[in-house]
C-alpha cells in the first residue's frame, strides 16, 4: 500500500466494476431465473423457507394485485411492520409495479404516522396488526375513523385524504381493510400483461423508495431513493463482503432502515445470497441460534447488537463457526467490541461500513483483507464510483490528518427530500456534494475515521473535544461494557464532558475511580466532569443511541442552563 502524495482529504472510488444500469425488478428476475430452487428467503419466526422461484412467484402475484387495485406508476405505498416475509415480498413487488415503497418506522405513533402518510401522499398502507405495546390497528382507526364504514379502496379519510387502501397482515379481518394474502388473488391476465410491460418502461433513475430520516432537529425528511441508488449500493456492499450464492446472510437489523432493505436484501439479490431473518425484532438469543442452525456465513448488526450477543449468558454454547464476514455499522463502532467480534464470533473478515440514508446508504467500507488494526480503527475507504472529501468551515478540503465535515458525491446521493426543495438545497450543493454532518479525518492512505457529529462536538474553554475519542479510551477500562460521551452546558467553560457508562455484569466502579483512570492517561480537559452509571441508553429502533435525550436528561438533573452560543 502506498500513500497518496496529494495532501488534501479528497478520494474517488475505483470504477473497475461498472454500475448496474438496470432496475431492481430486472436484477431480481435475473437471480430468480438463474438460481431457481436455491433458498432465497428464510424467516425463522414465521417458519418460512422459500426458494428463489417461490419468492418470485409470490412477488409477481402481489405486484399484479397492487396493479389490480388501481395503483399507478409513481404512487406511494407505505409499509408499517416489523421484519417479516411480507415486508420482503412487498419491497420487490412495489419495485416491479413501478410504485414507491415508503418505509415507516415501527416505533412511530399517531402524530408521526399521520405526518409521514400526508407528507408523501400514500395511496395505500400495509400494516401489521400490532407490535409489542403498539396497537397499529387502533392507531390507524383513530386517524381514519371512516374505515369502519368504508369498502376497501373507497376510503375517504379527512385526516388522510390521499389514502385509499389499508391492507393488514394476518388472517383476521378488520372493517374497511384488505388482507395482505388477498392481494395475490386479485391480479388478472391484463394486470400480468401490464406488469411485463412495466419491466420495459421503468427507468433505473425513477424513485423506488422513500425513507424518513431522524427528526431530532425538526420534522422528519423523506429521503427519495432511486433503483440506481440503492441497487448499486447493495451490489457494492455485497462485493466488499465477497458475497456469492454460497452465502447465507443473517439480517437482524430492521427492514424499514437501509441497513436491512439495501445492505441486506439488495446485496443478497445482487449476488444470489440467502436472506435469513431470525425474528421480527432484534433478540440476541434468536440471532445466535439462527446463525448456528442456519449455518449463516454473514452477520449484520449495529454495535449494541453485537454487544448484546457477546454478553448473552449462553454465548459460549452456540456454534458460530460457519461465520466468516459481516458488517458492523449504523453507529460508531467501538474498537474493543470489534476485536471481540473478530476473535470470539469467528468473523475474521468482518467489515465496518459508514454512510447515511441520503447516500443509499454506504459511502465508505473497510475491506475483508485490510489488516485488523485498520478494520477496527477506521470506517475504511471510499466505495466504488463514489467521491468523498473532508472540508473545513469554509468548505475547503482539509489537509490529511485534520478533522472536518465529510461530504460525499456520486450515484448514491439521493434524488432529494420528498416535496422539500429548501431542505434538499441545504443538504446537497450545486456541485452535487452531500453534507453528512459528520466529523471525520482521512489518513495518507485514504482511510477515514469518524470522530463525531458536528452537533455532538464538545467545545470546552475553546478546546474541540471529540466524544468518540474519549469513548474509545474508556472502553479500555476493564469493567466498562458500553460508554457514551456527551457535552453538557457549563457557565465557566461553555461545555463540560459527561460520560454514561454500562458496567460489565458483576463489576462495580465509582465516579472518582473512572475520573482517576482518565486523569492518568488523557488530557485534563477531556476528563469527564460528570460520570453516570446506567443500565441502558436511550436508543432508536435501529439501536442508535439518542445523545440528545441524554443531554436533555442531564440538563434537567443538574439544573443546568444552555450557555453555548456557537
Q: Read off the DSSP letter of residue 266.
A: I
Determine how many CB atoms are found less than 10 A away from the CB of residue 331: 18
Which three-class secondary structure state does DSSP give residue 437?
A: strand
- How far is residue 5's CA from residue 430's CA, in Å, rounded to a whole number? 28
For the whole model, what pTM was predicted?
0.86
Tell me which long-range contacts 203-208 makes (C-beta under 8 A, separation of at least 24): 203/23, 203/227, 204/20, 204/21, 204/22, 204/23, 204/228, 204/231, 206/23, 206/74, 206/98, 207/74, 207/100, 207/415, 208/23, 208/24, 208/94, 208/95, 208/100, 208/101
What pLDDT is recorded for position 513?
A: 96
The structural domains of the chain, with segments of one domain joined by +, span: 52-202, 222-453, 458-558
Fold exhibited by the domain 52-202: Rossmann fold (3.40.50)
pLDDT of residue 452: 79
CA–CA dist 472, 492 (Å, integer): 27
- DSSP assignment, residue 492? T
Identical fold, 52-202 and 222-453: yes
C-alpha atoms less than 13 angstroms from C-alpha of 350 in its C-beta half-sphere: 30
- How far from each other are the two terminal CA atoms of the chain, in whole angstroms? 40
Interatomic CA distance for residues 149 and 152, integer angstroms: 10
Which pLDDT value is given to residue 342? 95
Topology of domain 458-558, per CATH?
GMP Synthetase; Chain A, domain 3 (3.30.300)
* CATH 3.40.50.12780, domain 222-453, yes or no: yes
Hey, what's the cell of 110? 399517531
**Helix or strand (DSSP H, E) at 269:** helix 267-271
Q: Identify which of 491, 451, 447, 494 has the alpha carbon closest to the alpha carbon of residue 471.
A: 451
- Please, how many CA atoms are within 13 Å of residue 349, restricted to the half-sphere of its CB? 17
pLDDT value of residue 3 = 62
**pLDDT of res. 376:** 81
Q: How many CB atoms lie within 10 A of CB 564?
A: 13
Predicted confidence pLDDT, tens digits, the chain (566 residues)? 666 555 899 999 999 999 999 999 999 999 999 999 999 999 999 999 999 999 999 999 999 999 999 999 999 999 999 999 999 999 999 999 999 999 998 888 888 899 999 999 999 999 999 999 899 999 999 999 999 999 999 999 999 999 999 999 999 999 999 999 999 999 999 999 999 999 999 999 999 999 998 643 457 899 999 999 999 999 999 999 999 999 999 999 999 999 999 999 999 999 999 999 999 999 999 999 999 999 999 999 988 899 999 999 999 999 999 999 999 997 777 888 899 999 999 999 999 999 999 999 999 999 999 998 888 889 999 999 999 999 998 999 999 999 999 999 999 999 999 999 999 999 999 999 999 999 999 999 999 998 877 778 888 877 778 888 899 899 999 999 999 999 999 887 788 999 999 999 999 999 999 999 999 988 888 999 999 999 999 987 767 788 989 999 999 999 987 643 32
What span, in angstroms and rounded, lies between the C-alpha atoms of 149 and 151? 7
Amino acid at each position: 500500500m502506498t500513500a497518496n502524495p496529494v495532501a488534501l482529504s479528497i478520494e474517488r472510488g475505483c470504477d473497475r466494476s461498472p454500475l448496474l444500469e438496470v432496475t431492481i425488478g430486472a436484477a431480481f428476475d435475473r437471480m430468480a431465473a438463474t438460481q431457481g430452487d436455491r433458498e432465497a428467503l428464510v424467516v425463522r419466526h414465521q417458519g418460512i423457507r422459500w426458494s428463489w422461484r417461490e419468492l418470485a412467484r409470490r412477488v409477481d402475484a402481489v405486484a399484479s394485485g397492487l396493479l389490480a387495485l388501481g395503483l399507478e406508476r409513481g404512487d406511494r405505498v407505505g409499509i408499517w411492520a416489523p421484519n417479516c416475509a411480507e415486508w420482503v415480498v412487498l419491497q420487490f413487488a412495489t419495485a416491479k409495479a413501478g410504485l414507491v415503497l415508503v418505509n415507516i418506522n415501527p416505533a412511530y405513533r399517531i402524530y408521526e404516522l399521520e405526518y409521514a402518510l400526508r407528507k408523501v401522499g400514500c395511496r395505500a398502507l400495509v400494516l401489521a396488526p400490532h407490535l409489542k405495546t403498539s396497537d397499529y390497528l387502533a392507531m390507524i382507526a383513530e386517524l381514519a375513523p371512516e374505515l369502519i364504514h368504508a369498502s376497501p379502496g373507497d376510503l375517504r379519510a379527512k385526516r388522510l385524504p390521499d389514502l385509499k387502501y389499508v391492507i393488514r397482515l394476518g388472517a383476521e379481518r378488520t372493517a374497511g381493510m384488505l388482507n395482505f394474502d388477498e392481494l395475490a388473488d386479485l391480479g388478472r391476465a391484463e394486470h400480468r400483461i401490464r406488469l411485463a410491460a412495466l419491466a420495459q418502461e421503468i427507468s433505473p433513475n425513477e424513485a423506488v423508495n422513500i425513507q424518513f430520516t431522524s427528526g431530532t432537529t425538526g420534522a422528519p425528511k423523506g429521503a427519495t431513493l432511486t433503483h440506481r441508488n440503492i441497487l448499486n449500493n447493495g451490489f457494492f456492499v455485497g462485493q466488499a463482503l465477497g458475497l456469492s450464492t454460497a452465502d447465507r446472510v443473517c439480517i437482524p437489523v430492521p427492514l424499514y432502515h437501509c441497513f436491512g432493505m439495501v445492505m441486506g436484501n439488495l446485496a443478497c439479490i445482487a449476488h444470489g445470497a440467502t436472506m435469513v431473518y431470525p425474528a421480527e425484532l432484534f433478540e440476541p438469543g434468536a440471532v445466535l441460534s439462527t446463525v448456528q442452525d442456519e449455518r449463516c456465513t454473514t452477520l449484520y448488526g449495529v454495535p449494541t447488537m453485537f454487544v448484546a450477543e457477546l454478553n448473552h449468558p449462553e454465548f459460549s454454547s452456540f456454534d458460530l463457526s460457519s461465520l466468516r464476514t459481516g458488517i458492523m455499522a449504523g453507529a460508531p463502532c467501538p474498537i474493543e467490541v470489534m476485536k471481540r467480534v473478530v476473535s470470539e464470533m469467528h468473523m475474521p473478515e468482518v467489515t465496518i461500513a459508514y454512510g447515511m440514508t441520503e447516500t443509499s446508504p454506504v459511502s465508505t467500507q473497510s475491506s475483508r483483507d485490510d489488516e485488523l488494526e485498520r478494520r477496527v480503527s477506521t470506517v475504511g475507504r471510499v466505495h466504488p464510483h463514489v467521491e468523498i472529501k473532508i472540508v473545513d468551515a469554509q468548505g475547503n478540503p482539509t489537509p490529511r490528518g485534520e478533522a472536518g465535515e465529510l461530504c460525499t458525491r456520486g450515484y448514491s446521493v439521493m434524488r432529494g427530500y420528498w416535496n422539500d426543495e429548501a431542505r434538499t438545497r441545504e443538504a446537497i450543493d450545486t456541485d452535487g456534494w452531500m453534507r453528512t454532518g459528520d466529523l471525520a479525518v482521512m489518513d495518507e492512505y485514504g482511510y477515514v475515521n469518524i470522530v463525531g457529529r458536528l452537533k455532538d462536538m464538545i467545545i470546552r474553554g475553546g478546546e474541540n473535544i471529540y466524544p468518540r475519542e474519549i469513548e474509545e479510551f474508556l472502553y479500555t477500562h476493564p469493567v466498562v461494557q458500553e460508554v457514551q460521551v456527551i457535552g453538557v452546558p457549563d457557565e465557566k467553560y461553555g461545555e463540560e464532558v459527561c460520560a454514561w457508562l454500562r458496567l460489565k455484569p458483576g463489576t462495580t466502579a465509582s465516579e472518582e475511580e473512572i475520573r482517576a483512570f482518565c486523569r492518568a492517561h488523557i488530557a485534563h480537559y477531556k476528563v469527564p466532569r460528570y460520570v453516570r452509571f446506567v443500565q441502558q441508553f436511550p436508543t432508536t429502533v435501529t439501536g442508535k443511541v439518542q445523545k440528545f435525550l441524554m443531554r436533555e436528561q442531564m440538563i434537567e438533573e443538574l439544573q443546568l442552563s444552555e450557555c453555548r452560543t456557537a
